[in-house]
Structure formats: C-alpha cells, structure tokens
Chain A
Amino acid sequence: MSIEQLYRTRAKELLSSGEVKMVIGYGAGSNKERRRPLFITSAEECDKLVLDSACISNLSGYLLTEGLLSDEKRVAVFLRPEGVRALNVLAAEAQLDTAQIVIIGFDSPKGELKALEGSSVEEFTALITALKEITPETAGEEQLAKIEKMSPEERFLFWQEEFSKCIKCYACRQACPMCYCRRCIVDSNQPQWVNTSSHTLGNFEWNIVRAFHLSGRCVECGNCDRACPVNIPLRLINRKMAEEVLNSFNHFAGTSKTQEPVLASFKKDDSETFIL
C-alpha cells in the first residue's frame, strides 16, 4: 500500500472513531506541481487527500486559526519534520497544547516520499535532535557564503536591490506559522515604526524586523520564501539568523515543547566581544 493510501485510511479511522474533529492535509492544486491545504471533517472526504513530494508547505500555522483548538478537541495534521519543530516552538510560546495535535508525519528527502513514525511531538525528539547536527544542504548555502564575503557596502547594495522589489503585501507574514501576533508591529501606527509605503527604506525596515522576530524561532520551512510574489530570498536571512543563534547560544528552534525561547531567556555568561 502506498503511503498516500496508508494515510488516507489513517485519516478515515481518526475521523470516524471521533478521535479528531478535523484532519488538515493536502489536496490537489491548480496544476500538477501544486498542492493546496485541505481541511477535512468527515471520513467520506478522506479520498481527496493527496500526499507526494510536492506537498511542501508547512501546515502548522493553520492550527492557530482562531477558535480551532478552543473546544479542546483534537486535530490531526500532516507535517514534515520542520512542521513538528514549528509545533514545538508554538507550544513553547504557549500558543497551543501539543496534546490536542495528532501528527501525521512524512518527509521526502531527495524527492522520495517516506512515512515518519509517531503521532505526538515527543516521538519526534530524536529525529529533530539529529537534524541539529546536520548542516542543511539548502540551495542558498552558496549564496550565503557569497554575501558573507562581500563588504558592508556591497551587502547593503545587494539587499537594497532585493528589498526595493518588495511591495509590502505581507504574504511572508501571512504564510509564516510563527507570525501569529494579533497586531503586527507594521500595523501599529502610534508610533509608526515602519513606513507603510513601499519605499525601499520602509521595505528595508520591514524585512529587518521580520527577520529579527524570527531569529531563534524560524524552523526554515520555506513558507515565506515560496509566498513572496517578487522572489526576495527571505530564506537566506532566516538561515543566517538560525546559524547565528546556533553558534552563539547553541539554540536550535523547536527541539522540544518546553524549550526556552532564545530571546526571552539569557545566561549570565553569554559571551560577546563588542560591548565597550
């Protein structure tokens, strides 16, 4: 039986036994390469579920939909390892209770789909800890090294050019499971921290703030990167910041649901070299 078949049956069982009230998975998209999120509440609909290596978006953000988890019923969700990390981060920040989530885990390293054992976040701990040790082979790694070699002026010009494309649609924010603030800093206008018009200055500020708020929280699912309509390499900044918190604080976002948020905690011996 294919993994897709297996998981359809699993979803059916979960729904018909009443163990979960909803399954969040993937359905067919507008073309062969695209998948769209599917929210299923009855066993009959489970045949619409699709699972293959094109199912790349991180669905964990939908769990924070207002009111979804407030009745204390459970919800099953299709997640890749980074999705499980996202769950841990959200739980550590008291945004949800992982006991309410049934994980249907899968991954597709090198395009080959495989099922992941376990339905609770705890069962993924070993897998996530192993991820921490692996240097990710993201396509951006080369570009990252290139940017780091540049002089500050060149770097500024590079990002100026990238950010000048930004139209402030905030799709990166909407797509990100970590951006759950009811009122985002860019929506506040007393004071107006960030220019609302899409001048490069305001775009610069917005993108810096976004990256800063995700430092030590980003699980690098790539939702923002894919959502960006003008292809700003957002993932590069996130990658850089993830490296930074890993090197400075040995912090890998989403290793457990009790992990202390890196910027809401401190050590007395945090070592820096730049404070005069």
Chain B
Amino acid sequence: MSEPFEPKITAFVCTYCTYAGADLAGTSRLKYAPNVRIIRLPCTGRISPMFILKALQKGADGILISGCHPGDCHFTHGNYHARRRWMVFRALLAFTGIPEERIKYSWISAAEGLKFADLINSITEDIRKLGPFDQYHKLIEETQAPASL
C-alpha cells in the first residue's frame, strides 16, 4: 500500500500575534498536524506576495498567512495594508487558476493557541483531501529536467 499523502503547508505568520499564538499552542501541549512549516516575520505587512509564489515554487501544497486581528497590529496598521494586498492578490491568483482553497488567511492573536491548533488541523485535512498541487508540481519538474538540445 502506498503511503498516504502528507501535504506540505507553509505558514507565514507575524511574530507578535500568530507566532505567539502558535507558541501558546505549544506550551499548552495542544497537538496539531506536523505538516506545517512556520516562517516568522515581523508583521503581516512584511509578507510580500512573492513569498506565496516562492513557497509554491518550492513545492508547497497549501499556504497559511496569518497575523494580528484588525486593530491589534504592533505597528498600528501593518495588517490593514496586508489585508488590501491579500484581497487583490487572492483575486489575481484565482484568475490565473491557482485554487483559492490552497491559500488561507487568518487573524490569530497571541491568546488564541487553540484557534491556531484547530486551524492547522483543519487546513491540513482540507489540503489532504485536495491532494498534491500536481499542476504546479509539473511546472517545477520542468525546470529541473535537463535542457533538451
């Protein structure tokens, strides 16, 4: 029997809220799926859309982007800027055929360790159901093939 598909999920999180929330999930001994790779950034405003493309380029099947709730940003309005950017970028990705279900966005505060654990579990389940992002993986394979002369 073949191994069940384990999705690779990249999470871009802000250090002041979601990362602290993930930390709380850890110190509270909450169990969540090990499929997520967390990348900590100073603020959601620092999350460039390039990061999303880079994660896909490196073979991610799903992506989570998460930061402070509106009004809670450590830098007062980084997450408001980020929200606009996501709204536009999400529409663009959808239009080019990158499924919306693979890229999730959330607000998770430092107190929401439980929400973090639950979200990671549910995203992992969702992506597992969707299967690997084959269409994109094929493009990656093409870049690794030796050049035909």
With a cutoff of 8 Å between Cβ atoms, the chain A residues found around residue B5 in the complex are none
Q: Is A154 close to B, CB under 8 A?
A: yes
Q: Is B107 close to A, CB under 8 A?
A: yes
Interface of A is mostly: helix
Tell me which residues from 71 to 103 in chain B have a Cβ below 8 Å from any Cβ of chain A. Answer: 71, 77, 80-81, 83-100
- The answer on a CB contact under 8 Å between A185 and B96 is no
Q: Is B35 close to A, CB under 8 A?
A: no
Contact among B97, B104, B105 for A153, CB-based, below 8 A: B97
- The answer on a CB contact under 8 Å between B88 and A208 is no
Closest to A195 in B: B143
Q: Is A204 close to B, CB under 8 A?
A: yes
The total of interchain contacts (Cβ-Cβ below 8 angstroms) comes to: 123
- The answer on a CB contact under 8 Å between B85 and A263 is yes
- The answer on a CB contact under 8 Å between A212 and B83 is no
| Residue interface mask A190-234, B partner, CB < 8 A = 1 | 010111010111101101110110011000000000000000000
Interface of B is mostly: helix
Cα–Cα, bound, A237→B105 (Å): 23
With a cutoff of 8 Å between Cβ atoms, the chain B residues found around residue A155 in the complex are 95-97
Q: Is A28 close to B, CB under 8 A?
A: no
Q: A153-B135, A275-B106 are in contact. Are A201 and B88 (CB under 8 A)?
A: no
Cα–Cα, bound, A261→B77 (Å): 16
Number of contacting residues on A, CB 8 A?
50
**Chain A proximity of B80: nearest CB distance (Å):** 4
With a cutoff of 8 Å between Cβ atoms, the chain A residues found around residue B83 in the complex are 266, 270, 272, 275
Cα–Cα, bound, A154→B97 (Å): 7
Q: Is B119 close to A, CB under 8 A?
A: yes
Q: Is B50 close to A, CB under 8 A?
A: yes
Q: Is B139 close to A, CB under 8 A?
A: yes
Contact among B53, B94, B95 for A205, CB-based, below 8 A: B53
Q: Is B129 close to A, CB under 8 A?
A: no
With a cutoff of 8 Å between Cβ atoms, the chain B residues found around residue A158 in the complex are 97
Q: Is A157 close to B, CB under 8 A?
A: yes
Q: Is A179 close to B, CB under 8 A?
A: no
- The answer on a CB contact under 8 Å between B92 and A211 is yes
With a cutoff of 8 Å between Cβ atoms, the chain A residues found around residue B93 in the complex are 208
With a cutoff of 8 Å between Cβ atoms, the chain B residues found around residue A241 in the complex are 88, 91-92, 95
Q: A147-B95, A153-B97, A268-B80 are in contact. Are A263 and B88 (CB under 8 A)?
A: yes
**Chain A proximity of B149: nearest CB distance (Å):** 14
Q: A241-B91, A266-B84, A272-B83 are in contact. Are A208 and B105 (CB under 8 A)?
A: no
Tell me which residues from 39 to 93 in chain B have a Cβ below 8 Å from any Cβ of chain A. Answer: 49-50, 53-54, 57, 70-71, 77, 80-81, 83-93
Closest to A206 in B: B53
| Apart from A152-B97, A268-B71, 9 more pairs, CB < 8 Å | A148-B95, A193-B53, A195-B143, A200-B139, A202-B143, A205-B57, A207-B96, A267-B80, A275-B106
B contacts, CB < 8 Å to A: 49-50, 53-54, 57, 70-71, 77, 80-81, 83-100, 104-107, 119, 135-136, 139-140, 142-143
